Amino acid sequence: MATAGDIVTNALMEIGWLGQGETAQAGDSDFVLGKLNDLVDEWNSRKLFIYNVNFSQFTLVPNLHPHTIGLSTNSPAPTFTVTGNRPVAIENASIVLNNVTPNVTVPITIRDDDWWANQRVKTLAAALPSDLYYSPDFPNGSLYFWPVPNIAYLCELELRNLLTSFANTATTFSMPPAYKKALTLTLAEDICPAYGRESSPTLQRKSRDARAAVQGANSEAPRISTKDFGLPSSGSRNRTNWFYPSGTLK
């Protein structure tokens, strides 16, 4: 099974620093491993490099405004703890009415900066929030539920699963298909300046194609609908058909 060290070695071979069968010196391994982790960190900020999401449930704290989310080791400690840094974005959110059987999930509308800026009464309280504005502060993100919840319901958040960094060169590589090649070739491009190399057109093309394979697997086709989607039809209307000289279909 491949390791982080294999990616490091292969990247150095791609730029011609190592030959077949040669081993990187400790200093080179440490440097390139650091660049590899920098690359993973960068990809974590880009949605098209994230291959999955998770639905995590947290317990709301009544009358708390805002709730925070981040690592348990952060100071101050967050309200909601997650694995990895605070989320880059909240994809979807719901309130789980866990006081009824079966539980009922009520979706929350995710709002943007402009909506929150124009909200006149930000501390209005109610049992069930209808909206959520997320501010990706650091190290803890801030979750502004509106109205401010005053009952300890469960909150379900759809969060991106983050790519895991590599503790050392012996760390096992475990990611979906196409990631190993994309990381290796992008890493090779990234370390070229440090080793006095020019990134060749061939390397650039292969790296671009490898990243496109990853992004293509993670992209989703947007949902589309017609202009009249959801609207009831009434009466009769002409429908254009290019095959009819009159322009109408009867």
Block means of pLDDT (10 residues each) for the chain, 250 residues, are 96 96 95 98 95 95 97 96 92 94 95 96 96 97 97 96 95 96 98 96 97 93 63 54 47
Contact at 8 Å (CB) between 85 and 68? no
Q: How far is CA 39 from CA 3, 33, 174, 247, in A?
A: 16, 10, 16, 57
Contact at 8 Å (CB) between 175 and 84? no
Q: What is the pLDDT of residue 84?
A: 84
Residue 23 lies in a domain: yes
72 lies in which domain range?
A: 53-160
Q: What is the pLDDT of residue 225?
A: 63
**For residue 95, what is the enclosing H or E element?**
strand 92-97
Which amino acid makes up residue 190?
Answer: D
Residues 35 and 61 in one domain: no
Q: What is the pLDDT of residue 220?
A: 77
Q: How many helices (H) and strands (E) does the chain have?
A: 5, 10
Residues 42 and 105 in one domain: no
Residues 155 and 205 in one domain: no
Residues 128 and 207 in one domain: no
SS3 content of the chain, % helix, strand, coil (to 5): 30, 20, 50
Contact at 8 Å (CB) between 104 and 95? no
Residue 187: exposure state from Cβ atoms within 10 A (0-12, 13-18, ≥19) = buried
Using the CB atoms, write b or e for 165-183: b if 16+ within 10 Å: bbeebeeebeeeebbbbbb
Q: Rounded to whole angstroms, how far apart are CA atoms 192 and 32? A: 11
Residue 223 lies in a domain: no
Residue 91 lies in a domain: yes
> How long, in residues, is the chain?
250
**165: which DSSP letter?**
P
Q: What is the pLDDT of residue 99?
A: 87
**163: which DSSP letter?**
P
Q: For 181, phi and psi rounded to 5 degrees?
A: -65, -45
Residue 78 lies in a domain: yes
Residues 81 and 44 in one domain: no
Is residue 117 classed as helix, strand or coil in its secondary structure? helix
Q: Rounded to whole angstroms, how far apart are CA atoms 172 and 2? A: 6
Q: Rounded to whole angstroms, how far apart are CA atoms 11 and 34? A: 13
Number of domains composing the chain: 2
Residues 34 and 60 in one domain: no
Residue 166 lies in a domain: no
Q: Rounded to whole angstroms, how far apart are CA atoms 231 and 169? A: 59
